[in-house]
Amino acid sequence: MNQQILLKNRPVGEPKESDFALVETPIPEPGEGEVLNRTIYLSLDPYMRGRMSDRESYATPVELGNVMLGATVSQVIKSNHPQFSAGDFVLGYDGWQAYGISKGKTLRKLDPNQAPISYALGITGMPGMTAYFALLDIGQPQSGETVVVSAASGAVGSVAGQIAKIKNCRAVGIAGSDEKCDYVVKELGFDACIDRKTQDLNSSLKDLCPKGIDVYFDNTSGPILEAVLQNINLGARIPLVGLISQYNAENLPPGPNLMPLLIKRALIKGFLVGDYQNRQAEFVKDVSQWLREGKLKYKEDVVEGLKNAPHAFIGLLQGKNFGKLIVKVSDDPTR
C-alpha cells in the first residue's frame, strides 16, 4: 500500500497536525511515459505554508483532499519512460507520499557517487540555488562588504553566508538560538551571529556591522528587515527571498517603513529561484567545486518516517529545525 499525507483543512494561522490526514491507498500503476518511484527523502520547506492557503501567491495552492506537494528524492521501481530504469535514483516532485507517479520529463537522475542523493533537496538543489543566485545576482556582494543573512543556519541562509565568505565579505548571521549561532560561526565560518531571541537586533547589528550593511539576504522580512534598514549603507541591496516571519499570519502584517531605502538609495527585490532555471549550470559548477574544496559545509536535519512530516513541518515554521529539514520516508540504499 501507498501512504499519503493529504491537505485536510486550510490552516488559520499556524498549521496544526489535524490540518493533515494520513491515508493508505493502493500503489498506483505508471502509465505511458510515466515512472513509479519509491520516495526515499521528502524535502520540507517554508514555502509549503503558502501552498496550503488559497490567497494569491506565485503558485496555485494545493487543493483540499490532495497530496501535499514537495520535492522528493526517490528510487525508480518501474519505468515506462526510455530514460529511466528500475533502480535509478531521481529528484522529482512527488510530494508527501511513499510512492509517486511522475512524468519522466519532470525527473532528474542523481549520481550517488557525486554527492549524497539527499543533497539534491538542499545544497545542490533549489535551496542552494536560491542562496547562490539571490546573493550573487541581486545582492552582488563586493569584496570587503558586509553581508547579513537571516535564518542563517537554515537550508538557504547557511549557503548564502558561506558564499558571502567565499566572496571575501564579512558575513553576519541571524539565527534563533545560541546553539544555531555557535554552528553558524564555528562550523560555517560566518564572522558573527546574532541570537534573535535573546539579543537586541538593532544594537547587535550596529556592533557587529561597524561599517554598515551592504547586502541583506532576507529570508524573513518582519522585525529583522526593520532593524537592518536602520543600518544599511548607501546603495545597499536586499534580495527578498522569504517572509518566514509572516507565513502563518492570518492577515498580512505591515512591513517596514521604507524611508531608509530612499535615504540610502538602496533596493529591495523579490526573488524566486524558478526564474533562474536556465542558469542552473553556473550554480552546479561553482557549488560542486566549493563542496569538493571544503569551502561549503552542509547540515541536514533528518526526520524519520512520513507520518512525522506534519509535526516536523509545523516545527520548521517555528524555527525548530536545525539544518536542512528532510523526511526519510524509506531506506536509502546508498548509505
Q: Which residues bind a copy of itself (CB under 8 A)?
A: 56-58, 221, 225, 240-243, 246, 252-272, 275
Burial class (CB in 10 A: 0-12, 13-18, 19+), 216: buried
Please tell me the distance from the alpha carbon of residue 42 to that of residue 301, in angstroms, as a whole number: 12
Please say which residue, 100 or 141, places its beta carbon nearer to a copy of itself: 141
CB 277 within 8 A of CB 286: no
Q: How many CB atoms lie within 10 A of CB 210?
A: 8
Nine-digit cell string for 330: 524509506
We find the least distance from the C-beta atom of residue 201 to a copy of itself, in angstroms, to be 16
Closest CA to 232 of 265, 195, 203: 265
- Nearer of residues 36 and 174 to a copy of itself, judged by Cβ: 174
In the complex, minimum distance from the CB of residue 229 to a copy of itself, in angstroms, rounded to a whole number = 9
Min dist CB 56 to a copy of itself, Å, is: 7
Cβ proximity to a copy of itself: between 175 and 229 the closer is 229
- Is 214 or 300 the residue whose CB approaches a copy of itself more closely? 214
Report helix angle 126-133 to 280-292, nearest 10.
100
Question: Min. distance of Cβ 284 from a copy of itself in angstroms?
Answer: 22
Q: Could you tell me the smallest distance in angstroms from the CB atom of residue 240 to a copy of itself?
A: 5
Q: Among residues 124 and 231, whose Cβ is nearest to a copy of itself?
A: 231
Using DSSP's 3-state secondary structure scheme, residue 278 falls into helix
Using CA atoms, how far residue 63 sits from 50, 136, 219, in Å, is 12, 35, 26
